[in-house]
Each structure stands twice: as structure tokens, then as C-alpha cells.
Structure 1
Amino acid sequence: MRRILLLLLVALVGTLIAITVLLLRQYEFSKLRAEFNQRTAGELIRYARVRLIGHQFLEPLLLPALNLAESQLQRPVPTTKLPNLSKGQQAQVLAPQRYESSGAPVAESALPSPGLPGNTWSELRVSNVAELSKAMQTVKAGQTIVLAPGRYRISEVLSTAAAGQRDMPITVKAQKVGQVRLDSTASDIFKINHPFWVFENLHLRGACPDASDCKHAFLVQGAARSTVLRNNLLEDFNSHLQVNGDDDQWPDEGLVQFNTFTNTRPRDTAMVVAPINIIGASKWKLADNKLSNFVKTGPGRSSFGVLIRGAGHGNRVERNLLVCTPQQIAQPGIRTGISFGGAGSDPQFCRDQRCEFEQQASMAINNVLAHCNDFGIDVHRSASMLIAHNTLINSAGIDVRGSSSNATVYGNLLDGRIRERDGAQAKAGMNEVLDLSEYLEAPDALRLNGRRSIESVPALPLVKEDFCGATRQSATQVGALAETGASCAQSQARP
């Protein structure tokens, strides 16, 4: 024990010396003090590590101390399997997809389908990759491609060739959950360039020896308005879902609901790592999904659970569970839960060709985020944003940054910090920043039942429901759950 304490003391002293020496070389004292006040301990350690690279004497002397200090600062993830909290792919088949009169898909509850027989005249049944590829090219509005149970090995991209309609979407599905798996060595499995397509009940897996080769399970582009992904399991891709413009068209009003996004190993790639990566598209709804284990070990090492950027507007991220790392939070890399703006966008890929704002009037509400070694929610160069009623566990907290950023940050429950920097404006109110273990049963293990009551706050008109889909009363709890003991927050982990 004495040896361990001595090592910790040496590590902390070495870290302080390294940070002080390196920062003093670059900043005036007043700037150094401001930097310490602004930055988290993790950010300072990462910065010091970068500054050490190339120093013949300091690097071998102080780098081990920095690494040890970083590992000690980060709270470990429980070794027990974390529950799904009723999010992600459901065991049952969902009720049929509905649409608003405008054509926007409606987010459904997790109630199972009544199991009514389908119209066999509208079904194209396939049992191998050749038949699936042909069906993708010949299917018509109102028809459904039904994959027979089994494993399909995909080596070439499957592209859409026809448009669905609001009352007659085109659907690609497995009859039951867990029956169909698509293993892919192609850069993308499905490339969608037409509106009103629905994909459900599928298991899609990247199987590329080189991580850079398996880019996306779904690439949604251009005219692919009102695309729906529901009740799928997607694993081992860099950006499992990527949405972007094409030929001056933007695939707006998509729905991503009850999907599980995960990776079985870190992504060793120079490409963007973000299970959901939306560039320029507007009015997408991401709801009731589970995202986990999005670790990047390639150049840059920064990864995101949800990354939305490129001058879109009106996107909603709600009722999702994000676990940056379900184990080994101290492993290499920088992981952010939900980011509006990320590191910024190249203007040529932006909807307005300049990215004056990365996002406008978008929101992150009623989400549970855990075990991120960077900020759980990040707002960068984005305006009129709403960050409300989220629960953030074991992360740096909520970050609003950039002079063009402004956000309302309301009713969140977290154990990190709420930070505004670089000229950003955050209108923060009714948030609770505290030791969550004193108020929740076992927050790190995602057991979120209340141990002590927290003062209620007025409900927001734009946040009518909570993480479980329950209606919020006029006075409601802070955080993602409107009340303690919510049924969906007691769900146990599924294999």
C-alpha cells in the first residue's frame, strides 16, 4: 500500500511539474491561470502529453507519470454488465411504421406488432445475396423485401433504385429479430438515395480486416428523405450510419429508433469514428437507441457517439442511452457522447457552403450518458440549442464553446461541470451538479432509482416526456427521469 501511495504521489507531482513547465513556455502567467480555470484535468494532461512529444529528456521522464495520473483521475466502469434500460434493439417486432401528413416518420412506442399477416402480393422474399441485390433494383413503392433466416456475406454495396411513397414505403426486413445477419467486407452495406425506405429487425456487422474499409452500415444521401432505421443491431463500423447531402439535395426528416450501435473492438483508423454521423441534414429524430463502445485508436483518437454538424437544423436526440466505454474508461482515446459541431466541418460539405453555424435549433433531451472520458454533451459553433433533462454520469459534463454558440441548458443532472468558453453563451438554469452516488442507487452501474429526493423544477413545453416516454407533470425532476422508480430504468442487461 505504501508503495502504491508513493507512486501516486510521484505521478501527481510529475504531472503538475510537466503541465506547469510546458504551459509556462507558451503562455503568460495570466493566460496560464485562465487556462487552468477553463480546462478539465483530463484536458490538461492530454495537452501536456502532446507538448512532451519530442523532448529528449522530459518525455521518458514525465510521460509515465502523466499516464498514471490520468488513469487515477478517471473513475472506473463497474465490471458487471450494464443494463440496456429498455433502449436499443427490442426482442419483439415493432408495430408498422406510420407517417405524418407532411411525410415525416412517427416515432413509435416499443409495443409489439399485433402479428397480422402481411400482404404476400407485396412481398419479395429472398434467401441469398444475389436475390437481395436483384430485389433492391426491382422493388417498387409499397413492396417489402423479406430476408429468409440465415447469414448473408456482403462484398458489394447494395443501392436503392426506386422511391417509396408516404403511404407506400419500401421496406427491407427480417421477419423476426435475430434471424438475419449481414456480414460485410464492403465499404457500405446499404446506400440509400431515394425517399421512404424502411430497414428493420436486421443484424449488420462489419467484417473487414482493416477497420478503415468498413465505413458504414447505412449511407443515406441526397434525395433519401424520410429514411427509417428501426430495431436493428449494427456493429463494427466507423460510422454505422452516415447521412449527408448529394447533388445539392439533402435527406431530411429521417428516423432512427430502437437500434443498437456498438463495436466489439477499438477502431484503428484515421477516419471519423461516430456511430451516428449526420452532416448537413435537418429534422432527423434519434430516439430510444443504445450506443456504446465507440473507441478510436487511430490518428486523432477522438470519437463521438452522435455527431451532428454541417449547417443542419431542427435535429432531435432524445431518450437514448450512450455508454462511451462499457469497460476500461482509461483506455487510449478521447470519447464524447453527443456533439453538435464536433471539430467543425469543411465548408464544401455544409448545407450553406460556409457553415456559419454547425447546427441551429437542435436539441438533446432526456438522454442518459455514461463513462465518457471527455464531455458527455458538446455544443460547438451552434445557435439556439436546447440541452435539457439529460443525466450525465462519469463524464466531464456539458460544454458550450465558440463565439457563435448559444444554448439553453436546463434541468440536467450531472456529476461533471457545465462550461461555456471561447465566447459562447449558455443560459443555464435549474441544473443539478452533484455527487450522483448520494442521490441515485448506483449511477455508475446505471441503476438510476432515487436514494434521496431532488427538488422539482418547472417542466419545459418542449420536453413533454422523459427518458422512459412517461409524461412530465408541470413540476418534474431534473435529469432524464421524471420520477424515481421508473420502470424502463430497471431493465436488466440482455446478452
Structure 2
Amino acid sequence: MTKTLFKRKARRHRQWINPYTAVALGVGIMAASVVLAVNSIDVPPRQLARYIEHRAAGHNTVVTALAGGVSKFFTAQDRKGDVRVTAQAMQVGAAVDAIPLKEDRIGARQTIFVNSSAEAIRAIAEARPGDAITFMPGEYRFSGTAVSASRVGEPSAPIWVRADRLGTVFLKLDMVEGFRVSAPHWRFENLNIEGTCQDHSRCEHAIHVVGKAHHFIARNNVISDFNAHIKINGAGADFPDHGSIEGNTLTNLAVRNTDNPVTPIDLVAASHWTIRRNLISDFVKAQGNQISYGAFVKGAGSHNRMEQNLVLCEDKLRAPAMQRVGLSLGGGGTGSAFCRDGRCITEQQESVIRENLIAHCSDDGIYLNKAAQSQVRQNVLIDTAGIAVRFAQSSAEISGNQVDGTIRQRDGALLRSADNDTTSGLGLFLGWHPVRRQFDDRGVLAGLTSRVQREDSDKGMESAARCLGLRTQQVVDKASTSSKACQP
């Protein structure tokens, strides 16, 4: 009897240590460890891939080859797929048939036609309130020092620099700055402006808005091949507040071979700006830190808004080694000498990023750096690292966004996240992209979520899609697609 019991126990023991069971148990433990490790890292695959390559640099060939393979695998998992969001699917940016706003020509007292670069420079230098300086159709070349727009316009009589119709006037600039606006109430509209510098470090800004140039407006322009197409900053104690950049196309036709900052809309220390319905694309920086942004507002400004823009970090240009961020409150930070308060305790205060579509960025789609009381609402992010909020000075309400990536807080940042569609970190490493699948192979939004608990968010997302001209599976009546429906 005793021997029989002993044999039964031995058999049970042998069954317990069956090699197949041991292997399965080991695999399970390893899988659980990987899941825990990935979730604890809280870094998207594309960013981890870049970190691995950086850490392996300078080691022996075996290490660098292994790191390169792992990096390529992580990047492929994060960025794989045939979905390409394209500008052709949207209704943003400059357009030949753009409908003038009612207030566009209010206050115009006289139209001054110019037929040469010299005439344009003279007319701008001698401008009076209400002048509409209008280029006749043709090509105009500028070089040397910036064209100074220093005459003061009035609220009821601004000064225009314009063409009658987009695509008829082409300004070719071979200069560090094209137009330097230092006085209030200037408007630039319907212009095609191109940087022609062979040395990319020379073509810095098409338009530089500085100091007392408050209430500036740039509308329905196509600007290409600059480092910071539109640059805004203070001068001394003066700041160009209450500006607007609306309905423009800002792009580059080639990678920028410069170590200067590359950011199509570069706003420092100004407040109360609206950046709306612009197409911003292909801002690749090849030298220096190789980090570029589609647009940022920083330098201790406040109450700035970036809304209903289409940001394509990679449209026609691809450069996987560089870092491209979509939109940012705070950018990469500001030197104290350039801060509105002289310190930049916060880079931004009470600013908003809403209803934008941001796609194909090798880094974060939205990045908040020392941005207090921020709102990030109803944005769509496709093929980006997601949304990152960083540093203890940052606080943000992040709601109603569809993020093909993760939402992360770092270094003591505070955020309140509600009603967002995101992808888990593990899902990204496994190549799982449910938000991305809502776009078809033409880069058109194929559908919106319809869960009851997401009703408010869905309404916001439908609004964002409608205002960007995205076709959806839901029926949108003609009244809802009017320009009035897309106003803030």
C-alpha cells in the first residue's frame, strides 16, 4: 500500500515538471515581464528606437548592428501601414477661390498698384492708413536687406500688401528676411512667396512680425522654402499681440540644410494670436539637433490658439533620422532674454490646441513644455508618437482627442484626460493601430466613434472633421458645412 502511494506521488511529481509545462510557464513569465516592462517604460516605439540607436553609437559593429535591427523593427511596428493623410483630402490652406472675409477690405481708402520690386518697396515705405498696396500679376525678385513695413496702420484703416488673386503674383526672395513688420495693423494676403537662397541658413523668414506690430494678419498666402516662414517676437518692452495667421499654405520643397531653427510658424513672447486653418507641411531640419516643429508658441505668452490646422510633418519629404514635432505649446524652451516676463517661469499660459489634424510625425504630434492651464481638445493624431506633457509647470486638460499613439505626462506635469481614444503602449509595439484604421487608403477619415459615453467628444470630432473638410460616413447637411459652423 505504501509503495503504491509513493508511485502515485512520483507520477504526479513527474507530471508537474513535464518539460512542455515548464516551457509554457517560462514563455508566460517572459511575456508577462515584457508587457510589464513595455508599460512601465511609457515610451512610444519610434522614440525608443531612436534612443537605442543613440546609446549604441560608438560601440563595436555587432552591438551597432543589433541595435540597428531592433530600432528598425520598433519603428516599423509603430509606423507601418499604407494610410497616408494628404492635403488633397482636406479643405485647408491657401486657395485660389478663397472667399474674402467681409472685413477684408473695410477701411481701404486707396489702391496702389505696383509693377516692380522697387515700386513695392517704395509704396510700403511710404504707406498710409487704408492703403491697399497691390502687386500686378507677375514675378518679383527681392534681395539685400528686409523690406521694412514700419508705417502705422489704424484699426479702421489697416495697410494691405496683397495680390488680387492667389497664384498671379510670385515673390522670389534671396535674403535673410523678406518683410519686416514693426508697426500695427498690417495685412498680407493672396501672395506666393518663395525663398530662393542656395544657402538655407540665409532664407530665415518670409515675414518677420516684431515689437509694436500688433493686430497683424496673414491670410491666404503660399509660402515655401524658409526656415521660419512667419516669425513673431517682441522687441524690448513691445510685443506684437492679437495677430492672426489664417488659411495659409506653409511648406518646403527640400530638406532644410541648416542648423538654424526650422519651424514654419515660430511665435515667441506674443499673446492672443490665432493660428487657424493652415496647411503646414515638410519642415525637415538636416543639421544641428535635427529637431523641427510645425508651429510653436512659447516665450511666456498667453491665450494663443492653434485650431483647425492640417499639419503633415512628412508629406512629400521623408527623412526618418530627424525629429519632427507637430504643434507645441512651449517648443524647446526660450532663453530668458527673449521671454515676455524675462524669466519664462511658464512658456505658455491658458493657450489652446483644438480641432487639428496632425499626421506622419517622427516624434510627438502635440508637445507641451512648461505650458500652464492648457487645453488640448478634439484633435486627430495619425502616425505620431502621441501627446506629451512635460515639466511641473505644465497643466493641461486633454479631452475628446483621437490619438494614434499614447498620452503621456513627464517630469511632474499634471494633466486631466477624458474621453480620448488612444492606443496602448503594448499595442504600438505589436503594430496595433485602431485609430489609424479609421482612415482609408486615400487618407480620408472613414468613420467616427459612436459610443454613447463619447457623445460629446464625437460631436467635437465631427466638428473638427467638418471644419477640415474631411469626408465621413456620417451625413453632414449643407448648413453644417458653412463657414459659420467652423468659427470658434
- With structure 1 as the length reference, what TM-score do the two structures score? 0.80
In the alignment, which residue of structure 1 is the partner of 2:99? 94
Give the partner amino acid of 1:448: L
Shift of 1:371: 0.8
In the alignment, which residue of structure 1 is the partner of 2:315? 326
In the alignment, which residue of structure 2 is the partner of 1:129? 117
In the alignment, which residue of structure 2 is the partner of 1:54? 58
Shift of 1:46: 1.4
Of residues 171, 177, 187 in structure 2, which corresponds to 1:182? 171
In the alignment, which residue of structure 1 is the partner of 2:332? 343
Of residues 363, 372, 376 in structure 1, which corresponds to 2:365? 376
Say yes or no: does 1:85 pair with 2:85.
no
In the alignment, which residue of structure 2 is the partner of 1:13? none
Give the partner amino acid of 1:265: A
* 2-structure distance, mates of 1:268, 1:354: 32
* 2-structure distance, mates of 1:81, 1:327: 10
SS of residue in 2 equivalent to 1:134: helix
Of residues 484, 488, 491 in structure 1, which corresponds to 2:474? 484
Q: Is the 2:355–2:461 contact (alpha carbons within 8 Å) kept by the matching residues of 1? A: no
Shift of 1:433: 1.6
From the CA coordinates, give the structure whose radius of gyration is larger: 2
SS of residue in 1 equivalent to 2:214: coil
Shift of 1:452: 6.1
* 1-structure distance, mates of 2:53, 2:257: 20
* 1-structure distance, mates of 2:285, 2:99: 33
Q: Could you report, residue by residue, the CA deviation over 1:207-251 in whole angstroms, capped at 9, with x for unpaired residues? A: 111111110111100000000000000111111111000121000
Q: How many residues align?
A: 433
Query: Which region of structure 1 is more displaced relative to structure 2, 327-336 or 301-310?
Result: 327-336
Percent identity (aligned): 32
Say yes or no: does 1:164 pair with 2:153.
yes
Cα distance change on mapping 1:418 and 1:356 into 2, 3 Å: same
Cα distance change on mapping 1:97 and 1:298 into 2, 3 Å: farther
In the alignment, which residue of structure 1 is the partner of 2:438? 440
Q: Is the 2:404–2:435 contact (alpha carbons within 8 Å) kept by the matching residues of 1? A: no
Give the partner amino acid of 2:110: S
> Which structure shows the bigger proportion of residues in helix conformation?
2
Give the partner amino acid of 1:203: N
Runs of 4+ in 1 over 6 A off after TM superposition: 480-483, 487-490
Q: Is the 1:77–1:371 contact (alpha carbons within 8 Å) kept by the matching residues of 2? A: no
Shift of 1:57: 4.4
Give the partner amino acid of 2:118: A
Q: Could you report, residue by residue, the CA deviation over 1:86-110 in whole angstroms, capped at 9, with x for unpaired residues? A: 1000222432463xxxxxxxxx9xx
Give the partner amino acid of 1:484: Q
Shift of 1:331: 2.4
* 2-structure distance, mates of 1:351, 1:437: 39
* 2-structure distance, mates of 1:446, 1:61: 35
In the alignment, which residue of structure 1 is the partner of 2:135? 147
Of residues 178, 181, 195 in structure 2, which corresponds to 1:206? 195
Cα distance change on mapping 1:312 and 1:90 into 2, 3 Å: same
Q: Is the 2:83–2:439 contact (alpha carbons within 8 Å) kept by the matching residues of 1? A: no
Give the partner amino acid of 2:438: L
In the alignment, which residue of structure 2 is the partner of 1:427? 416
Say yes or no: does 1:219 pair with 2:217.
no
SS of residue in 2 equivalent to 1:130: helix
Q: Is the 1:392–1:413 contact (alpha carbons within 8 Å) kept by the matching residues of 2? A: yes
Cα distance change on mapping 1:296 and 1:66 into 2, 3 Å: farther
SS of residue in 2 equivalent to 1:50: helix
Cα distance change on mapping 1:484 and 1:292 into 2, 3 Å: farther
Q: Is the 2:193–2:206 contact (alpha carbons within 8 Å) kept by the matching residues of 1? A: yes
Say yes or no: does 1:233 pair with 2:233.
no
Cα distance change on mapping 1:391 and 1:437 into 2, 3 Å: closer
Give the partner amino acid of 2:135: L
SS of residue in 2 equivalent to 1:213: coil
SS of residue in 2 equivalent to 1:212: coil
Q: Is the 2:348–2:370 contact (alpha carbons within 8 Å) kept by the matching residues of 1? A: yes
User: What are the equivalent positions in structure 2 for 1:65-80 lying under 5 Å apart?
Assistant: 65-66=69-70, 68-69=72-73, 71-73=75-77, 74-75=79-80, 78=83
SS of residue in 1 equivalent to 2:201: helix
Q: Is the 1:441–1:451 contact (alpha carbons within 8 Å) kept by the matching residues of 2? A: no
Q: Is the 2:402–2:435 contact (alpha carbons within 8 Å) kept by the matching residues of 1? A: no
Q: Is the 1:129–1:152 contact (alpha carbons within 8 Å) kept by the matching residues of 2? A: yes
Shift of 1:441: 4.4
* 2-structure distance, mates of 1:333, 1:67: 14
Shift of 1:84: 4.7
Shift of 1:431: 0.9
SS of residue in 1 equivalent to 2:340: coil
Q: Could you report, residue by residue, the CA deviation over 1:428-480 in whole angstroms, capped at 9, with x for unpaired residues? A: 001112544686241x64311317634464649xx79932666xxxxxxxxx9
User: What are the equivalent positions in structure 2 for 1:17-32 lying under 5 Å apart?
Assistant: none
* 1-structure distance, mates of 2:277, 2:476: 15
- With structure 2 as the length reference, what TM-score do the two structures score? 0.81
User: What are the equivalent positions in structure 2 for 1:411-426 lying under 5 Å apart?
Assistant: 411-426=400-415
* 2-structure distance, mates of 1:218, 1:465: 34
User: What are the equivalent positions in structure 2 for 1:364-403 lying under 5 Å apart?
Assistant: 364-403=353-392
Say yes or no: does 1:308 pair with 2:313.
no
Say yes or no: does 1:40 pair with 2:28.
no
Cα distance change on mapping 1:402 and 1:210 into 2, 3 Å: same
* 2-structure distance, mates of 1:385, 1:451: 25
In the alignment, which residue of structure 2 is the partner of 1:317? 306
In the alignment, which residue of structure 2 is the partner of 1:274? 263
Cα distance change on mapping 1:449 and 1:81 into 2, 3 Å: closer
Cα distance change on mapping 1:58 and 1:230 into 2, 3 Å: same
Residue ranges of structure 2 left out of the alignment (5+ in a row): 1-35, 424-432, 482-488
Q: Could you report, residue by residue, the CA deviation over 1:238-280 in whole angstroms, capped at 9, with x for unpaired residues? A: 1111100012100001011000011111111111111111001
* 1-structure distance, mates of 2:75, 2:38: 25
Q: Could you report, residue by residue, the CA deviation over 1:347-390 in whole angstroms, capped at 9, with x for unpaired residues? A: 11000110000001000011111111211111111100000000
Shift of 1:162: 0.6
Q: Is the 1:93–1:201 contact (alpha carbons within 8 Å) kept by the matching residues of 2? A: no
Residue ranges of structure 1 left out of the alignment (5+ in a row): 1-31, 99-107, 471-479, 491-495
* 1-structure distance, mates of 2:67, 2:461: 49
Give the partner amino acid of 1:453: S
Say yes or no: does 1:449 pair with 2:437.
no
Cα distance change on mapping 1:420 and 1:318 into 2, 3 Å: same
